Copies of this chain bind each other. A is one copy, B any other.
Amino acid sequence: MTDAPRITPRTLKGFRDFLPEKMIPRERIIETAKRIFRSYGFAPIDTPALELIEILKGKGSEETDKQLYEFADKGGRQVGMRFDLTVPLARFTAQHFAEIGAPFKRYHIATVWRGENTQRGRFREFMQCDFDTIGTRSLASDIETAVVIHDLLRTIGFERFTIRLNHRGVLAGMLEKVGLAEKSTEVLRALDKLAKIGPQKVTEEIVAAAGATAEQAQAVLELAGIQGTTDEIVRQLRTVLQGNPHGLESADQLAALAAATQAAGVPSERLVLDVSIARGLDYYTGAVFETLLDDLPGIGSVCSGGRYDNLAEMYTKQELPGVGASLGLDRLLEAMTELGMIDEVATPCEIFLPYFDADRLHDYLRLATRLRAAGMRVELYPEPKKLGHQLKYADRKGFRVAVIVGGDEWSAGVCQVKDLASGDSETISLDAASRGLEKRLAALVTRTPEA
């Protein structure tokens, strides 16, 4: 086999390897998200990467249909790789409803595939991180969604971010009021571009795409332009929506949502009403959420979602309203890198234990076991190479501390604890009873808090 021609090792276009430097912060964020989800009662589920094509086709957009990885399996079944976690959730909920009941709160963190155009910097394989509450129309679940988003961002390490909140019902109410209810898709699609192309162009698009009059378009833009504090916005909404019960009720819900999230501990400056948020998908019918980073608003929303009326109507007559959101993992990691929030290291360990007295392997093993039993992460170098070589390795990988024990130290019952960042070194007793080494290491490795 050694003489066989070699194959160039390469990844498929649009696909990525994750090296430890990138994977360590990814895993940390995913674990933080899971911890938060669980603390609110969201339970994990998983579904297959492959679904029957009839489950996937026509359930997303025309674009997702086109991007589908689709093929016939060995049994001749036409199958596809999931392109999101919402369609699998709908199929799952319909299929297992008798067992899971309602309300059903789940999180699902899993890979999805889309044959996107890679020229737009998109990847064809990425991870989605969704949480939803299915089977209830209660505002309490909308509130909780906002509270979870806040808790996620805070726990991941952000201080400066804003959850932008709107309610589809205020837009729908206005469209009903001015007689554009039948054209809501076209209007919402145009409105979604407000930040990008400005009110003039949006008005033109509403007129062109929805066949609206200038007055109708004007009324929509007026609504979307409402700004101010929560109280001010709600007051103005009540004025412009006068006479439309749907719109007025939705404005009340916005007010209730804002008040309750504050009661639950979300500072008012982190949850603001933004009547201009439409969120492209037709799918949403109630509250909609976006989350912008104050220091990097340009990267777009890092956590978005909303309320929908009927999750699984394709698969069941059981009506399943719900609310949920999705954490944008790639975007979040990109932002954290840009904001210097990620310390790129290639090891999950803090403590490096060089192995350089070849005869003392058992002692090194015992010491590593002792430190791990004290809750520490310790890598023992596998070969008794020169100390300089080993410390270079430790440095390159990003260890914080080296515990150096050579022949003399073993004899004297001490070790050198070397801070690899500062280069400072100190002699510490190896006496297990005193736990002096454990205490010193604990102090050194907890300089920055773990997520």
Contact = CB atoms under 8 A, between A and B. Distances in A.
Interface of A: 1-2, 4, 6-13, 15-20, 23-24, 26-27, 31, 34, 37-52, 54-55, 69, 71-75, 77, 79, 81, 90-92, 94-96, 99-101, 103, 105-106, 111, 113, 115, 125, 133, 136, 138, 140-141, 143-144, 147, 151, 259-260, 263-265, 310, 312-317, 346-349, 355, 361-363, 365-366, 368-369, 372, 376-383, 393, 396
The 8 A-B pairs with the shortest beta carbon distances in the complex, nearest first, are A41-B379, A71-B71, A20-B43, A263-B362, A15-B48, A38-B348, A264-B365, A9-B95
A52 B365 contact: no
A316 B6 CA distance: 7
B44 A23 contact: yes
Contacts of A147: 365, 369
Given A8-B315, A41-B378, A361-B260, A138 B383 contact: yes
A264 B140 CA distance: 53
A12 to B, nearest CB: 6
Contact of A17 (B2, B20, B48, B136): B48
A68 to B, nearest CB: 9
A91 to B, nearest CB: 5
A220 to B, nearest CB: 25
B368 A47 contact: no
A103 B365 CA distance: 18
A309 to B, nearest CB: 10
A90 B1 CA distance: 15
A101 to B, nearest CB: 7
Given A2-B310, A11-B47, 4 more contacts: A11-B48, A12-B48, A19-B45, A39-B377
A17 B96 contact: yes
Given A41-B379, A383-B138, A368 B264 contact: yes
A94 B9 contact: yes
Given A9-B312, A12-B77, A369 B19 contact: no
Contacts of A9: 55, 90-92, 94-95, 312, 315-316
